[in-house]
Structures are given as structure tokens and as C-alpha cells.
């Protein structure tokens, strides 16, 4: 998918409250697509405020990447570790949407706190998306006037 703009300045962009509905994992590159847009500081304070967008992460296999899914089981919370292939498969099958909440940056690592919205039962789960990365994410987007 082609977009009008691209950038790598993490301080200009946020995925907070933005939902990825599909993803692609090819040759250590993970790309999430956001038909509803993402937040870019260039466009004011609305959230999200771009047109359709995508974010690509260059993964570092040495650091590892995975998803921790937290499910309620009775009075306990159970953590389940998922491979990125499982996450991308569920998104692309239309079973899940991934809503990004908070980002934490470390040396060669990015941690996102997210909600996974199941479009069928059982509903919503908290998830931690841990990405070992080589470079800064690449944000691609269309201007706000092209929002769908």
C-alpha cells in the first residue's frame, strides 16, 4: 500500500487509541495497518488525525519479539505468550483488532501496552507487545482529508 508521507521521528507520532486491523510479518519486518489513521503532531490535537496509515518495525531476531495476552480465569489473571505470527493471523482473519494504548522505549526494544478486541466472544484482553527492534519505526500515512 502506498502512502503520501513517511517519517521516523517517534516524538511526532503516537498510536494511542489507534486500532490496527491487519498486519504483515515478512523477513523480520512487522507492519500494522490503521485504516482509521494514527496521531501526528503536525495535524493538531484530534486523535487519530491522519488518513489511513501503517507503521513498520524492523525486528531484531537476536532480541526477540512476542505478545503477552492476559485473560481472566475465575479470580486469576492468566498470561499467555503468543508468537507474532499468531497475532498477525488473528488480525488478518478479522478475529481481532489491536488497540494501542501506551509505548515504552528501551535500548533496542519497544513495549506497547494494548487492548485486543475480539470481534467475537470473549471480548477484550490486555496485551503487551514486546518488540526487539533494529531501527526506529517507519510511520507512513495519508493526510487527514483522505480519511475514510
CB 141 within 8 A of CB 51: yes
0.85 exceeded by pTM: yes
User: What distance lies between CA 137 and its chain's CA centroid?
Assistant: 11
The pLDDT tens digits for 49-88 are 999 999 999 999 999 999 999 988 899 999 999 999 999 9
Compute CA distances 92 → 33, 39, 87, 143, whole Å: 10, 23, 9, 25
The pLDDT tens digits for 103-127 are 999 989 999 999 999 976 668 999 9
Cis amide prior to 43 (ω within 30 degrees): no
The domains of the chain are located at 8-146
99 grid coordinates: 488497540
Amino acid at each position: 500500500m502506498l502512502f503520501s508521507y513517511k517519517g521516523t521521528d517517534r516524538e511526532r507520532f503516537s498510536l494511542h487509541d489507534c486500532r490496527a486491523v491487519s498486519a504483515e510479518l515478512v523477513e523480520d519486518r512487522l507492519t500494522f495497518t490503521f485504516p482509521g489513521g494514527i496521531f501526528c503532531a503536525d495535524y493538531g490535537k484530534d486523535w487519530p488525525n491522519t488518513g489511513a496509515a501503517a507503521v513498520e518495525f524492523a525486528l531484531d531476531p537476536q532480541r526477540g519479539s512476542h505478545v503477552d495476552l492476559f485473560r481472566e480465569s475465575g479470580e486469576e489473571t492468566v498470561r499467555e505468550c503468543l508468537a507474532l505470527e499468531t497475532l498477525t493471523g488473528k488480525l488478518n482473519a478479522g478475529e481481532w483488532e489491536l488497540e494501542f494504548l501506551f509505548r515504552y522505549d528501551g535500548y533496542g526494544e519497544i513495549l506497547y501496552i494494548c487492548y485486543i478486541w475480539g470481534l467475537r466472544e470473549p471480548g477484550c484482553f490486555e496485551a503487551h507487545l514486546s518488540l526487539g527492534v533494529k531501527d526506529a519505526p517507519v510511520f507512513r500515512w495519508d493526510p487527514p482529508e483522505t480519511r475514510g
